[in-house]
């Protein structure tokens, strides 16, 4: 049977499986299955419950999204979040049949359910302006509100995820399932999150920035609160970013992930453990030169959950996710500081739920030719069993290109890593146009995972080359920090070295038909490349940075990111910001450049695209600007489905127009 070539609209045929949650009593697991409804142009998420024999049945039904399934301690119920009644609220439903009961009615919705150890209460997060917001799902007045000005007094007044910030804050609340009483555990003009419950039910842990001026003191501290008295004890020292908290089963230890900003935003995330009784805190992975957690870049799954430390029953060890050399896998660590890899495939382990007493896991795994399925891993017998086949029929229907790893050297001798994908219908002896992809971050990692954009381009007859230049995670602390203050320096040479290596190594690349594209930092690098070399015949820059001077004041992170990453500021180091701005060199751009940008991107605001477009047009350069209404920085990953297709089609069409040899 001849397989067909992938199209951008195959996005509507794919199924995403995320957030597996295993119940130790029944040995069943819940997970979230997300699809895109093409006609109504919306995402739909359903919670399924499956068993180790490969059976899985829907637990929820209807339109909208049901997410965050969490088993009650006795395994009899599932709490979950659903927007079936417009706003996302918490629901509880018996596992063995019955109706779902809506248990929160918060004005601004509810999320993140965490069961109390006794199973009679739910800890959750909600956005509130006052305690009244816990009980009212509608506004006080249904009348059309008159416009009001936005009064800004803080530097952090907008967010790419939330838009302009108002007087609401993210707080933790407690629901008594017997009395239905709801109460706030936190209050004030601060945000609280990453909640965890102590095994005896007397304490909760969370993260917050409670510094006097959080605009300037950019930290996220760990706190432990007594549920009855609401007295708080600070665990960390206002010098870093911490999150993803979990208590050990015996309640003696508190584990969390984070770092103390030694290299600002380029610092490796590490494992920390606090002895609850004494407050004594240690970093247990200080000598482990890998990034803890999953930092793989992809464009398919959204809603992945980092489980943090998954403790063994005896509270002496724990499992955790890590990222290394373009792969993500599972490590095991112990309180004595010993750490070792337990599952390190050349794949992307993007989700995990452990039964630590039997050393088993349910994992979500993806690779370059598989969008992702769930598997059962038994670490004792070293066996792996596939549990779902939601994308099997689609995979059998289409021609998929395998990402083949490459290793090469930078001009200064540093070891570099990447992948190359041959075009669909590849024939020996033929030469093909090639597109070099640059990831965002820059502190992220291309990985052994499915990338719909890459498959769409290979289906069009392009070779796709993608690599991890310095600044990427997965290759140690020195490597990830090396880009700071040097944007467009050795990272640029790394990107060009990838192209040089590919041309020297693979005779199927047409050196006269090369393209380059990337988003965010990858968009910056695309802009930088075309303003410093003419070797590429076409380029597409996405949600990019073109001017660090204006970025400083308009991005939701600009006022500190520019100082941390570019090492310039609006005082004595203004020239540093300008020297690293691609728009400074716009007169040297001769490559046809397509500019893609979301209208509501507050991370890299659309003015970055507008400046670049006008500067190029004014100088008679070949360019086009495509603006995506309502889209933020996450357009390619979780944005409006129809706009995601438009984005892919614009990228493809631009390269087809300017690179010869595409199909």
Residue 139 has pLDDT above 60, yes or no: no
Residue range 22-38: mean pLDDT, rounded: 95
Q: What is the CATH number of the domain that holds 32?
A: 2.120.10.30
Rounded Cα–Cα distance for residues 466 and 439 (Å): 8
Phi then psi for residue 435, to 5 deg, are: -115, 125
Q: Can you count the helices (H) and strands (E) in the chain?
A: 11, 41
Distance of CA 105 to the CA centre of its chain: 29
Rounded Cα–Cα distance for residues 400 and 369 (Å): 6
Instruction: Please report, rounded to a whole number, the percentage of residues in the chain having pLDDT higher than 70.
Output: 99
Residue range 175-186: mean pLDDT, rounded: 95
Task: Return the pLDDT at 136.
Answer: 72
Phi then psi for residue 558, to 5 deg, are: -60, -35
Residue 28 has pLDDT above 80, yes or no: yes
Residue 474 inside a domain? The answer is yes
Residue 427 has pLDDT above 80, yes or no: yes
Task: Return the pLDDT at 301.
Answer: 82
Residue 56 has pLDDT above 80, yes or no: yes
Distance of CA 441 to the CA centre of its chain: 10
Residue 615 inside a domain? The answer is yes
Rounded Cα–Cα distance for residues 153 and 137 (Å): 29
Q: How confident is the model at residue 138 (pLDDT cuts 50, 70, 90)?
A: low
At 535-551, the pLDDT tens digits run 999 999 999 999 999 99
Residue 441 inside a domain? The answer is yes
Query: Residue 536 has which token pair?
Result: 């590429």
From the list 100, 103, 77, 99, the residue with the least C-alpha distance to 90 is 103
Query: Residue 397 has which token pair?
Result: 């229907």
Rounded Cα–Cα distance for residues 546 and 527 (Å): 7
Residue range 390-405: mean pLDDT, rounded: 97
Q: What is the CATH number of the domain that holds 404?
A: 3.40.50.1820
Task: Out of 562, 633, 636, 650, pick the active-site residue.
Answer: 633
Task: Return the pLDDT at 259.
Answer: 98
At 614-662, the pLDDT tens digits run 999 999 999 999 999 999 999 999 999 999 999 999 999 999 999 998 7
Residue 625 inside a domain? The answer is yes
Query: Residue 442 has which token pair?
Result: 């820059």
From the list 579, 603, 264, the residue with the least C-alpha distance to 440 is 603
Which of 188, 218, 253 is the endpoint of a domain? Answer: 188
**Burial (0-12, 13-18, 19+ Cβ within 10 Å), 629:** exposed
Q: Using the structure block, give the residue that is written with the tokens 């990107």.
A: 495
Beta-strand relationship, 432-438 and 509-519: parallel
Rounded Cα–Cα distance for residues 655 and 646 (Å): 14
Q: Using the structure block, give the residue that is written with the tokens 């920390």.
A: 272
DSSP 194-232: EEEE-TTSSEEEEEE--SS-TTTS--BEEEEEETTT--E
Q: How confident is the model at residue 97 (pLDDT cuts 50, 70, 90)?
A: confident
At 101-131, the pLDDT tens digits run 999 999 999 999 999 999 999 999 999 988 8
Phi then psi for residue 66, to 5 deg, are: -115, 125
Residue 618 inside a domain? The answer is yes
Rounded Cα–Cα distance for residues 514 and 592 (Å): 12
283 contacts 274 by C-beta, under 8 angstroms: no
Q: What is the dihedral of CA 169, 170, 176, 179, to 10 degrees?
A: 30
Half-sphere exposure of 620 (CA within 13 A, CB side): 0
At 458-488, the pLDDT tens digits run 999 999 999 999 999 999 999 999 999 999 9
Task: Return the pLDDT at 111.
Answer: 96
**Sign of the torsion angle spanned by Cα atoms 420, 421, 423, 427:** positive
Task: Return the pLDDT at 143.
Answer: 56
Q: Strand order of the sheet with strand 253-259?
A: 241-247, 253-259, 270-275, 281-283
79 contacts 67 by C-beta, under 8 angstroms: no
Q: Give 463's strand partners.
A: 434
Residue 131 inside a domain? The answer is yes
Residue range 556-582: mean pLDDT, rounded: 95
Query: Residue 38 has which token pair?
Result: 């093409």
Task: Return the pLDDT at 302.
Answer: 76
Query: Residue 388 has which token pair?
Result: 């779902």
Q: Strand order of the sheet with strand 77-82?
A: 66-71, 77-82, 89-94, 101-102
Query: Residue 204 has which token pair?
Result: 């909760």
Residue 228 inside a domain? The answer is no
Query: Residue 418 has which token pair?
Result: 């990447």
Which of 188, 221, 246 is the endpoint of a domain? Answer: 188
Rounded Cα–Cα distance for residues 62 and 84 (Å): 8
Domain span holding position 452? 398-658
Task: Out of 520, 546, 555, 636, pick the active-site residue.
Answer: 520
136 classed as catalytic: no
Residue 394 has pLDDT above 90, yes or no: yes
At 188-218, the pLDDT tens digits run 999 999 999 999 999 999 999 999 999 999 9
At 300-349, the pLDDT tens digits run 887 788 999 999 999 999 999 999 999 999 999 999 999 999 988 899 99
Rounded Cα–Cα distance for residues 491 and 414 (Å): 11
Residue 247 inside a domain? The answer is no
Q: How confident is the model at residue 166 (pLDDT cuts 50, 70, 90)?
A: confident
633 classed as catalytic: yes
Omega cis (within 30) before 442: yes
From the list 335, 334, 336, 331, the residue with the least C-alpha distance to 354 is 331
In the chain, the number of structural domains is: 2
Strands (E), 6-157: 16-22, 29-37, 42-50, 56-58, 66-71, 77-82, 89-94, 101-102, 111-115, 121-128
Phi then psi for residue 178, to 5 deg, are: -80, -50
Task: Return the pLDDT at 137.
Answer: 58
242 contacts 220 by C-beta, under 8 angstroms: yes
The chain-wide mean pLDDT, for the chain, equals: 95
From the list 421, 438, 449, the residue with the least C-alpha distance to 472 is 438
């Amino acid at each position: 049977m001849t397989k067909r070539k992938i199209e951008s609209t195959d996005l509507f045929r794919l199924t995403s499986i995320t957030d597996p949650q295993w119940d130790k009593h029944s040995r069943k697991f819940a997970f979230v299955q997300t699809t895109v409804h093409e006609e109504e142009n919306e995402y739909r998420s359903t919670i399924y419950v499956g068993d180790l024999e490969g059976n899985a049945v829907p637990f929820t039904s209807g339109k909208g999204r049901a997410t965050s399934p969490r088993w009650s301690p006795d395994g009899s119920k599932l709490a979950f979040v659903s927007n079936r009644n417009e706003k996302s609220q918490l629901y509880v439903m018996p596992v063995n049949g019955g109706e779902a009961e809506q248990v929160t009615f918060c004005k601004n919705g509810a999320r993140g359910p965490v069961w109390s150890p006794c199973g009679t209460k739910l800890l959750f997060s909600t956005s509130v302006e006052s305690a009244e917001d816990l009980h009212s799902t509608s506004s006080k007045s249904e009348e059309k509100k008159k416009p009001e000005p936005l009064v800004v007094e803080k530097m952090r007044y907008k967010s790419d995820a939330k838009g302009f910030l108002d007087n609401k804050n993210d707080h933790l609340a407690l629901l008594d399932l017997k009395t239905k009483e709801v109460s706030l555990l936190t209050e004030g003009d601060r945000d609280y999150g990453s909640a965890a419950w102590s095994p005896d039910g007397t304490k909760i842990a969370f993260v917050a920035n409670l510094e006097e001026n959080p605009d300037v003191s950019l930290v996220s501290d760990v706190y432990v609160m007594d549920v009855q008295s609401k007295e708080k004890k600070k665990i960390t020292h206002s010098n870093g970013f911490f999150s993803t908290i979990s208590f050990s089963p015996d309640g003696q230890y508190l584990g969390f992930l984070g770092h103390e900003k030694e290299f600002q935003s380029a610092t490796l995330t590490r494992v920390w453990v606090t002895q609850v009784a004494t407050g004594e805190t240690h970093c247990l992975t200080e000598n482990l030169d890998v990034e803890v957690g999953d930092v793989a870049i992809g464009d398919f799954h959204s809603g992945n959950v980092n489980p943090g430390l998954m403790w063994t029953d005896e509270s002496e060890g724990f499992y955790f996710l890590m990222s290394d050399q373009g792969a993500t896998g599972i490590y095991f660590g112990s309180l004595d500081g010993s750490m070792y890899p337990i599952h390190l495939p050349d794949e992307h382990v993007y989700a995990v739920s452990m039964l630590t007493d039997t050393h088993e896991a349910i994992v979500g795994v993806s690779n370059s030719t598989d969008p992702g399925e769930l598997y059962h891993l038994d670490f004792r017998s070293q066996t792996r069993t596939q549990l779902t086949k939601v994308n099997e029929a689609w995979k059998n229907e289409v021609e998929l290109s395998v990402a083949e790893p490459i290793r090469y050297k930078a001009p200064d001798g540093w070891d570099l890593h990447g992948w190359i994908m041959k075009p669909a219908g590849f024939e020996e002896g033929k030469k093909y146009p090639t597109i070099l992809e640059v990831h965002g971050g820059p502190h992220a990692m291309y990985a052994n995972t499915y990338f719909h954009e890459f498959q769409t381009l290979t289906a069009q007859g392009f070779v796709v080359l993608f690599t991890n230049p310095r600044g990427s995670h997965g290759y140690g602390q020195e490597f990830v920090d090396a880009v700071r203050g040097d944007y467009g320096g050795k990272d640029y040479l790394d990107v060009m070295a990838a192209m040089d290596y590919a041309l020297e190594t693979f005779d199927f690349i047409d050196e006269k038909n090369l393209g380059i594209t990337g988003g965010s930092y990858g968009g910056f690098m695309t802009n930088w490349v075309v303003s410093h070399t003419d070797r590429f015949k076409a380029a597409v820059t996405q949600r990019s940075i073109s001017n660090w001077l204006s970025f400083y004041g308009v991005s939701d992170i600009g006022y500190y990111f520019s100082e941390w990453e570019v090492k310039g500021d609006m005082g004595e180091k203004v020239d540093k910001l300008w020297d690293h701005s691609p728009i400074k060199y716009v007169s040297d751009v001769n490559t046809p450049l397509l500019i893609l940008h979301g209208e509501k991107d507050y991370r890299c605001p659309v003015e970055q695209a507008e400046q670049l477009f006008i500067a190029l047009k004014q100088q008679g350069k070949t360019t086009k600007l495509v603006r995506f209404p309502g889209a933020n920085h996450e357009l390619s990953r979780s944005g409006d489905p129809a706009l995601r297709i438009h984005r892919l089609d614009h990228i493809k069409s631009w390269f087809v127009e300017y690179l010869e040899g595409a199909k």
